[in-house]
Amino acid sequence: MAQKVALDIPDGVYVNLGIGMPELVADYVPAGREVIYHTENGLLGMGPAPEVGKEDPELINAGKKSITSIKGACFFHHADSFTMIRGRHIDICVLGALQVSQTGDLANWSTGEPGAVPSVGGAMDLVAGVKTIFVITQHTTKEGKSKIVESCTYPLTGKAVVNCIYTNLAIIDVKPDGLFVREMAPGICFDDLQKVTEARLNRYEY
Amino acid sequence: MAQKVALDIPDGVYVNLGIGMPELVADYVPAGREVIYHTENGLLGMGPAPEVGKEDPELINAGKKSITSIKGACFFHHADSFTMIRGRHIDICVLGALQVSQTGDLANWSTGEPGAVPSVGGAMDLVAGVKTIFVITQHTTKEGKSKIVESCTYPLTGKAVVNCIYTNLAIIDVKPDGLFVREMAPGICFDDLQKVTEARLNRYEY
Amino acid sequence: MINKIVKSAADAVADIFDGAIIMIGGFGNAGTPIELIHALIDQGAKDLTVVSNNTGSGQVGLAALIAHKRVRKMICSFPRTANSTVFPDLYTKGEIELELVPQGTLAERIRAGGAGIPAFYTPTSVNTPLAEGKEKRTFDGLTCVMEYGIKADFSLVKCEAADRYGNLVYNKTARNFGPVMCTAADVTIVQTRKIVELGEIDPECVVTPGIFVKRLVEIPKPADEAKLVAEDRRYPWS
Amino acid sequence: MINKIVKSAADAVADIFDGAIIMIGGFGNAGTPIELIHALIDQGAKDLTVVSNNTGSGQVGLAALIAHKRVRKMICSFPRTANSTVFPDLYTKGEIELELVPQGTLAERIRAGGAGIPAFYTPTSVNTPLAEGKEKRTFDGLTCVMEYGIKADFSLVKCEAADRYGNLVYNKTARNFGPVMCTAADVTIVQTRKIVELGEIDPECVVTPGIFVKRLVEIPKPADEAKLVAEDRRYPWS
């Protein structure tokens, strides 16, 4: 999945990677492409994890993991960092999801259960400000429920914000007239995919 | 006048000096006091004019004159500079005036004449944001008209913003209950002063 | 003469009062002014409102301050992190208030507070539960919520180097909320890894101009919060 | 590969279109991207709205652009300076529009435009003619006006050094409006005194992160505007 996302990230763009699975995308940048990673806690030009023993506790990413900085990187404070986000300067953001609706609504910060401690971080700012939002997620929950739904039941992160969904089963574009399957995993056919997907899927006509 | 203002600036404060006569205040800081000058075009820690021939055209003050920077100075951009001003971080600002009213209204940016080119610069931000506003001005215009008036006839820079007026004839405090003369120039008596002042003056009772 | 250096963390936080609003820098463990927070625990002020991105980890720093029931309310974006159990426990029991703010809105509200901007509009959180009850307004088709600037009585911040004027530079991503928090408090208190002479910090590279800083205390070897948590340490040290 | 360097000022400004909104950096003569402005004069775009603190001096740079009737409207804080006669003459004759904005509000409106903040409140200008017709609102007893963010199609900015990613540092008070203007335009065009290798600018000291810059052109010896004015030069050079 992360590799598929990486293939869709063009040369020369600025990308923010969400916490968790999205972080893996950086490992698959195709040769010849230069992509600059933004981490909202104050770094443009995030590099790979440091060698063991070379970690700096004051050089971390949004997921609080140790990272490095590349040549040509720069550090800045949080208000400047979210100027980049809210001001539509970041080209692509890759986020995880609890649910995505067929109109591109995203729920990824809270299950809304009573008593749960809600934590939002930068997710709402990212979906409000980044030009293109990719979601990377398992197609279904551990219990087998579709994460691609008609309408989100969990609290929203943003409405009509997702541009493309990358799952273990398919790549699905969110278009004004619905969800369109662009690619399926080997051995999966459209009908199988629709069966495990609550939202209505469409095929591209060629 | 500039010397009198300088005497009223305590040790350790941050001061913004307006264009023109206010700039002279920096020449009279009493020995033993450390005052840090802010110039709104992006420098905290403005020093005196450079030696002739050592000017840097990219190191200027708000009046566009060549200056120097002191040890411990720092440069910043305009939005950060006005964070200092609007956010009430500057202690004292010394400004020139066209008119000051008896309630502390200030007019110092435009005579409001039709066809005149209005220029406001940072004056309105300074009076809105700096904790204490000193005005330094000739007591009367070249034509002998009082600059300390009942009510400003020129367009305002700010309402009820001036704390103290330093003129060639007197030092006048602006209090909630009116203008109080704190000091007069040698050879001037209160009645003479009132005669050349449109606004009503009061004496302190000791 | 301007000299903002005080001799100990205890002196630096001595006048923090019950009920104060306190901003605390840091994102995760990076930039947390842990020695200042520990001095605040010793000092005893209570009924605090704390503005900070997280709620601390383990039983040290901000988590310890919360564990000692000194904090009435947290204003933050991400209270639930890997090693954070103190806040979630109290929150679930209803013993601490939470104002949850998206991270960028939190940073901007603090900047606004420091910059004399009482309120601003942002599209962040529109159509989500966090926009409920907030004023909305549409600009050129973009619906926004109105958000208020935040000001504090005190800010506690950690930096890398400082001079006696209070000019600061930070280390890498430990910069995070420090610069905006310095601007937004009546009294900004900074712990610095080192104090340097005036002029040693390049005036082109100062991140926080001294005008925003009231007190400085040198802490040459600040604790590594992650290590303390891994060792299961508790403050006060037992 | 990311390489924002273009080979000439003419190439850098080639796509500026009639009717564009253009931000131009500089305060007085410090930080004015004079070579970019001259390239724009050569290029011919007209009916421009220009956002800049002043209106230029003498018959070079911004003043020359205005003298050639390319500017329909100025948005600025201080149009009348010692050596500025071009703008005042046209303004008095009613041949150019002026939107006068207090300097701090101008800087903040540009920052807001770049930061995705459509509007904010400020106490600056309340009770003055510049607040007339603007929405007012009182916050904790402080009356404010609502001001809108400004965005531009292009920003023209001058800096001291840049790398191919577009990371910038400035020289002293020539920084002024550059950093905020870089954030607020669709296309930010920067003239730099020198291009340096990636990594030569300390990542802790970058003032404008490269993400805000689209094109860079190296102008190793930019003209000193004050000298040109003192010598009574006119652009195009005669």
pLDDT tens across C83-106, in order?
Answer: 889 999 999 999 999 999 999 999
Q: Which CATH architecture has domain D9-115+150-230?
A: 3-Layer(aba) Sandwich (3.40)
C210 and B CB contact within 8 Å: yes
Surface of A (1-30) touching D: CB under 8 A: 11-12, 14
Active site residues of A: 40
Helix (H, G, I), strand (E, B) or coil at A181: strand
Question: Could you tell me the pTM of the whole model?
Answer: 0.98
Nearest-by-Cβ selection for A79 from C88, C108, C125: C108
Given a cut of 80, is residue C70 above it in pLDDT?
A: yes
Dihedral sign from CA coordinates of B101, B104, B109, B112:
negative
Q: Distance (Å, rounded) from C-alpha A29 to C-alpha A39? A: 17
Closest in D53, D100, D171 to B58, CB measured: D171
| Chains linked to C by 3 or more Cβ pairs within 8 Å | A, B, D
**Mean pLDDT, range C111-123, rounded to an integer:** 98
D94 has a chain A CB within 8 A of its CB: no
Q: Which residues on B lie below 8 Å from D81 (Cβ)?
A: 64, 119
Facing D199 at nearest CB: one of A71, A82, A88 = A71
Instruction: Render pLDDT for C140-188 as a digit per residue (tens, 0 to 9).
Output: 999 999 999 999 999 999 999 999 999 999 999 999 999 999 999 999 9
Q: Do D199 and A69 touch (CB under 8 A)?
A: no
Q: Is C165 on the interface with B (CB under 8 A)?
A: yes
Looking at the predicted structure, is the pLDDT value of residue A125 above 80? yes
Question: Is the CB of D170 inside 8 Å of chain B's CB atoms?
Answer: yes
Residue ranges in chain B modelled with pLDDT below 50: none
Peptide bond just before C102 cis, omega within 30 deg: no
The minimal CB distance from C119 to the residues D115, D121, D202 is found for D121
Judge whether residue A191 has pLDDT over 80.
yes
Distance of CA C49 to the CA centre of its chain: 11
Please tell me the predicted confidence (pLDDT) of residue C81. Answer: 76
For chain C, give the percent of residues with pLDDT over 70.
Answer: 100
Is the Cβ pair D206, A74 closer than 8 Å? yes
Measured between CA atoms, how close is C192 to chain A, in angstroms?
14
Rounded CA separation C44/C5 (Å): 23
* Cβ count within 10 A of residue D84: 22
Q: Which residues pair with B206 in a beta bridge?
A: none
D122 vs C117: CB contact, 8 Å cut-off?
yes
Backbone angles phi, psi at C137, to 5 degrees: -160, 145
Domain covering B2-28+90-203, topology: Glutaconate Coenzyme A-transferase (3.40.1080)
Q: How far is B156 from chain C (nearest CA, A)?
A: 21
**What confidence score (pLDDT) does residue A202 get?**
97
Q: Is D203's CB within 8 Å of A74's CB?
A: yes
Euclidean distance between CA atoms A204 and B11, whole angstroms: 74
The answer to whether D192 and D218 are in contact (CB under 8 A) is yes
> Residue A75: pLDDT above 80?
yes
* Beta-carbon separation of A89 and D111 below 8 A: no
**Would you tell me the crossing angle of helices D103-115 and A78-86 to the nearest 10 degrees?**
60
Say yes or no for a CB contact (<8 Å) between D203 and A73: yes
Cross-chain Cβ contact D123/C112 below 8 Å: no
Q: Helix, strand, coil: what percent of chain D each, to 5?
A: 25, 30, 45
Residue C46, SS3?
coil
pLDDT (tens digit per residue) in A2-36: 899 999 999 999 999 998 889 999 889 899 999 99
- Quick check: C237 contacting D, CB < 8 Å? no
Residues 6+ apart with CB under 8 A from C185: C22, C23, C151, C152, C153, C154, C155
Q: What is the pLDDT, as a whole number, of residue C88?
A: 94
Catalytic residue among B23, B40, B51, B113: B40
Residue B113 contacts D, CB cutoff 8 Å: no
Residue B169 C-alpha, separation from nearest chain C C-alpha, in angstroms: 32
Count of helices and strands (H, E) across chain C:
7, 11
Q: What is the count of residue pairs from A and C with beta carbons less than 8 Å apart?
A: 150
Q: Which residues 128-157 of D have a C-beta within 8 angstroms of C?
A: 137, 139-140, 142, 144, 148
CB within 8 Å: B42 and D125: no
Structure tokens at B204: 């302190």
- Under-50 pLDDT residues of chain D: none
- Distance from the Cα of D92 to chain C's closest Cα (Å) equals 33
Nearest to C74 by CA among D198, A119, B86, A145: A119
Chains A and B touch (3+ CB pairs under 8 A): no
Q: Residue D227: what pLDDT? A: 93
Cβ–Cβ contact B52 with D under 8 A: no
pLDDT for C192: 98
Cβ of A41 and C173 within 8 Å? yes
| Average pLDDT over chain A, rounded to an integer | 95
Burial B75-113 (b: 16+ CB within 10 A, else e): bbbbbbbbbbbbbbbbbbbbbbbbbbbbbbbbbbbbeee
Asked if D88 reaches chain B (Cβ–Cβ under 8 Å), the answer is yes
